[in-house]
Amino acid sequence: MPKLKTKSSLKKRFSRTGTGKIKFKPAGKRHGMSKRSNKFIRSTKRAAIMSPGDAALIDHMLPYNK
């Protein structure tokens, strides 16, 4: 069986936890913080765990990150 290619854009944006769930940084923190609420800024501060339905969509694009 040939080697599978990993999607390069996804390996920069997602990583796995020890239990195999997909971890990501929420969007919207690059610029324009003055127009965002303090609640939004706090909630996007740390990495989040992706829901199982969304994780299934990108799971096959990260074949060796299991």
Tokens encoding 28: 């919207």
- pLDDT above 80 for 30: yes
Q: Which amino acid is at 49?
A: I
The yes or no reply on domain 1-25+35-66 and CATH 1.10.1330.10 is no
Collapsing DSSP states into helix, strand and coil, what is residue 12? Answer: helix
End-to-end CA distance of the chain: give it in Å, rounded: 18
Joined together, the tokens standing for residue 36 give: 């965002």
**What percentage of the chain exceeds 90 in pLDDT?**
89
Rounded average pLDDT over 40-48: 94
On whether the CB atoms of residues 10 and 61 are closer than 8 A, the answer is yes
